Structure 1
Amino acid sequence: MNSTLPQFLWALPICIVSCSVFADQTEQPAENSTISGNIGVVSKYIYRGGEENQDLAIQGGLAYAHKSGITFGYWGSTLGYDPSDDRRDHGFEHNFYMSYGQEIDQNWRYNLKTTAYVYHHGGTVYAEQGDHRKTDDLDVLAEIIYKNLTVGAAVMLADSSYANAGDVYLSAAYSYPLAHDFAFNTSVGGSFYNTQHDNQIVQSKKNFTFNEARIGMSKPVADTGLVASLDYVIGGESRVGDDYDDHVVFGLIYNF
């Protein structure tokens, strides 16, 4: 039996984690149904320690939040590679998601979310030995939020060209408001890997790795709807034990 699963089941009640708060913000139940969105750029797109785009990335999203607590949304980003063709140096990631969140009391709330990851020009990746994997994937995320602290877990639901079904990403994020509308932001994340599903395309040398930690600042730009951010990303390791680089990431996002 894979040792990852028992460890995860033990950790789940304590450490329920979100994905990066910088790429995908937590939905909160709306008093009235609302439509919101954002568009912007980041100097690099770093996801769970790995480089999705080492150059300027354009990102944006649109969400419909119903007063019941259900949210339907989309988020996308340019990539510095094509997941199905290593001869191409660009691509695009589409995230389609649905979430449900509610307040428990004035300090506590929770959020459940499922996301489909779809890649432009994606399809199937083949290995020389005959193994093959789809580039698209699906996960489910559970979050517990206490004031400015968010912890949770994201579980991959299907085997793909970059992950195994049963992989678990654990993280925690904390944001603290400062004077003059500045905010101090931190996060940390690591992964348990389901090594039983390894093949020629996805291989794991470790059962768990620390992936990344972030520390940074953000600030609205007057009343323009723009938010500027500057983050330092401390790289961890990949599932095969390769070291991730550290990065400085600047972002400018327009919210509407």
Structure 2
Amino acid sequence: MKTQRISALVASGLLVVGASASQVALAAKTHSVSANLGAVSNYIWRGQSQTQDGPAIQGGLDYAHESGFSAGTWVSNVDFGDDINDINYELDFYTGFGGSISDDLSYALKLIYYAYPDGRDSDFSEIGASATYKWLTAGVDYTLYGQADDADGVADGESTYIEGDLYYHASLDFELPFELGLSLRGGYYDFRYNEGGNDYAHWGVTLSRKAGDFGTFSLNYDQIGRDTYDDDPRVWVGWLKEF
């Protein structure tokens, strides 16, 4: 999902809306363990493909406690192009804490580490916070640590530790009749080292349908709003099954 290099930016798309999101425990259980398995025709994270517009198989395992604590891991194949270390897969580790302030208002805190075990200088970590009021969710993620070669604003041929990138995001999520779901989302990536040269906004829409024991299917649209990137609209499909 998410190397620091601008040419290969993430969660995954919707069906993984989750690519890196932890599951919520049932209120009646002190401990809850769940798993998920998904497939997408294009792994999109923060508006950009992580698979060169190709398909991905994804899955994760999550633990949650009734106190609001959660932790988990998630994996997906990736393809950032032959010029980026020939990275083949992403492995995420995350933990978080969340709760409800009222019936309509809740919050979530998270710490996540994005690992690319077969790559070099590509791992990074973020801390994030979000709040949900009824159907509106908004939040921000902050890059705590990352390493990138030849990042903008860094001397040629040098490696540097990257921190301070900010990603702002918001979504509107609605439950529709016939077990349909509608999600409208948008985000803005503010990079620290490029003096605004690579910052960008993106937006997307997802229509999903629950199919009982067969999981959830989705039809998705995503686009980046800056022509220095590949700003062609992307339409992709996904499937997610939770256990």
TM category (shorter chain) comes to: 0.7 to 0.9
Q: Is the 8 A contact 2:12 2:43 kept in 1?
A: no
Please state whether the residue corresponding to 1:224 is helix, strand or coil.
Answer: helix
Q: Could you report, residue by residue, the CA deviation over 1:27-52 in whole angstroms, capped at 9, with x for unpaired residues? A: 44642221111101000011112210
Please state whether the residue corresponding to 1:245 is helix, strand or coil.
Answer: coil
Partner of 1:169: 167
2:216 paired with 1:227: yes
Partners in 2 of 1:78 and 1:21 — Cα distance? 13
Which aligned pairs between 1:1-256 and structure 2 lie closer than 5 A? 22=14, 23=16, 24=18, 25=21, 27-28=23-24, 30-31=26-27, 32=29, 33-53=31-51, 54-81=53-80, 86=84, 88=86, 91-123=88-120, 134-161=121-148, 164-195=162-193, 203=194, 205-206=196-197, 208-210=199-201, 212-221=202-211, 223-237=212-226, 241-256=228-243
**Judging changes above 3 Å, is the alpha-carbon distance between structure 1 residues 143 and 27 closer, same or farther for their aligned structure 2 residues?**
farther
Q: Could you report, residue by residue, the CA deviation over 1:182-212 in whole angstroms, capped at 9, with x for unpaired residues? A: 01111001111212xxxxxxx55527421x2
Provide TM-score, normalisation by structure 1: 0.77
Q: Which amino acid aligns with 1:73?
A: G
**Displaced runs of 4 or more, over 4 A:** none
**Judging changes above 3 Å, is the alpha-carbon distance between structure 1 residues 216 and 109 closer, same or farther for their aligned structure 2 residues?**
same
Provide TM-score, normalisation by structure 2: 0.80
Partners in 2 of 1:87 and 1:135 — Cα distance? 9
Partners in 1 of 2:168 and 2:46 — Cα distance? 10
Further displaced range: 27-36 or 228-237 = 27-36
**Judging changes above 3 Å, is the alpha-carbon distance between structure 1 residues 225 and 108 closer, same or farther for their aligned structure 2 residues?**
farther
**Judging changes above 3 Å, is the alpha-carbon distance between structure 1 residues 76 and 20 closer, same or farther for their aligned structure 2 residues?**
closer
Further displaced range: 223-232 or 105-114 = 223-232
5+ residue gaps, structure 1: 1-18, 124-133, 196-202
Q: Which amino acid aligns with 1:214?
A: G
| Structure 1 residue 216: Cα displacement | 1.9
Q: Is the 8 A contact 2:200 2:226 kept in 1?
A: yes
Please state whether the residue corresponding to 1:160 is helix, strand or coil.
Answer: strand
Identity percentage over the alignment?
29
Q: Is the 8 A contact 1:149 1:174 kept in 2?
A: yes
Aligned residues: 215
Q: Which amino acid aligns with 1:38?
A: N
RMSD: 2.3
Q: Which amino acid aligns with 1:174?
A: L
Please state whether the residue corresponding to 1:166 is helix, strand or coil.
Answer: coil
| Structure 1 residue 252: Cα displacement | 0.8
5+ residue gaps, structure 2: 1-10, 152-161
